[in-house]
Amino acid sequence: MDVFSNPVAAASAITAMLGVVAWLAFTRTSPRGAPPVVPSWVPFLGSTLSFSKDPVAFLRQCQAKYGSVFSVYLAGKTMTFFVSPKSYSALLKHKSLSHKPAFQDISQKALDQSAAFARYTQALHPDSPVVDYHKLIHPHLQHSSAVGALIERTLAQQRRVLGQFGASQRLSLLSFVERCIFESGTRVLLGDSLVDANPTLWQAFHTFDQSFPLFVAGVPPRRIAVKTTFPAHVVAPYDAAKESMALLWAASANSIPTTFWSLFHLLQNPTAWSAVQDEVRGHLGVGDVWSGDQLGKCVLLASAVDEALRLSASSLMMRVATEDVELKLPVHPSFIANFRQVDRFVHATSAQAEAFKPFGMGVTMCPEVSRVRRVPANRRATSYLAGSMPCLDITPIEYL
């Protein structure tokens, strides 16, 4: 049947076509002086699918084509990305750019926290119950003595998990890292009894982690489907428990890819692998209890982890403009290829250190990061790498 022979069908088709044309016109144009808009073809979703599949690769492609400042339409919202370190200062100091609305939105959408609790945790002066709750957690992630105890327990758990692998056992590098990092870290943060009582905890975490970009984007169908299985295992119907869930997710979701890429890049470079092994043997005794100071002497190992973060970290510093904002930024940024270099951060310059912000900055910095340096935040990766080197014979094989 000819669609245009039916007036109703013809009107519907024309309306749909006009809607698509209007959508394309809206997403492909921007006001004078505004950042360029990355074109997208899917109404509402925009570039959500491409972004969630590989955020780092997507943003690098956009940067190469549109420069260091560009806007992307994601799930009904236009987000402007600033990918140059030179923009950090302007973004942090502007009084009309706030992280609180963004964090509140994520807390409600991804973690299912109540609006009241999300508002309290992001308020300048939270109510006393919320203050008391956070006093139970944050000091144990910030004080040097508490961090030292966490490192000691983490190392003990990592050694226990590593000891479970047989000499002839074969599995993928990612599976190997996921199992060790998740089980050891979860037992340290939440205790052995919770992990032992929930044998499907890893599967639940993995499902939640894979769906997290959709949760943040506010996609209802997937969010409902996943939440019907996950809360039964971990999340109690209380906001405090959901906040603990956020801690558990952030710890493993960040540490697993960091450790994987650190190990992957080292295995690709036999010279670097041998150099890091020699450093570990020189500063860390086999079977000894390692202190934070001992791990801190492994500067090449720490540099390898930082280099993996530089190449693969996808953490974002989110800000919401509470009013119209005009920023003065470099118009013609330059691009210089920085290839993989394991010892890049051994003798890092002040400019390199300033440009490297994998854990955020300012009031939105990860609470695991110390006031002086980033070491406590990546200790899980460095201790795991140091612990796995002397007791495992890891050989890369060709993919068949």
Q: What is the pLDDT of residues 304-359, one digit of tens each?
A: 888 888 777 655 667 777 777 777 765 555 555 556 677 676 776 666 665 565 55
* Confidence grade of residue 118 (pLDDT, cut at 50, 70, 90): low
- The per-residue pLDDT for 52 is 78
Task: Measure the CA angle with vertex 58, ends 32 and 209; round to 5°.
Answer: 125
* CA atoms of 230 and 205, how far apart (whole Å): 8
Whether 126 shows a pLDDT value over 50: the answer reads: yes
CA distances from 54 to 40, 210, 226 (A): 16, 12, 21
* CA atoms of 174 and 261, how far apart (whole Å): 9
Question: In this structure, are residues 103 and 94 in contact, taking their beta carbons and an 8 Å threshold?
Answer: no
Q: Phi and psi dihedrals of 222, rounded to 5?
A: -65, -40
Q: Name the CATH architecture for the domain at 133-199+240-391.
A: Orthogonal Bundle (1.10)
Q: Phi and psi dihedrals of 12, rounded to 5?
A: -65, -45
252 or 120: which leads in pLDDT: 252
**Cα-Cα end-to-end distance for the chain:** 51
CB atoms < 10 A from the CB of 220, how many?
10
Q: What is the mean pLDDT of the chain?
A: 71
* CA atoms of 280 and 284, how far apart (whole Å): 5
Q: What DSSP designation does 238 have?
A: S
The token duo for 313 is: 């970290």
* CA atoms of 69 and 389, how far apart (whole Å): 41
- The per-residue pLDDT for 146 is 65
63 or 168: which leads in pLDDT: 63
Helix (H) / strand (E) containing 11: helix 7-28
Q: What is the pLDDT of residues 251-303, one digit of tens each?
A: 788 888 888 988 888 888 888 888 888 888 888 877 667 777 788 788 888 88
Residue from 328, 323, 283 nearest 301 by CA: 283
Q: Where are the domains of the chain?
A: 1-83, 133-199+240-391
Could you tell me the pTM of the whole model? 0.65
Q: What is the pLDDT of residues 78-99, one digit of tens each?
A: 888 888 777 766 777 777 777 7
Type of residue at 166: G
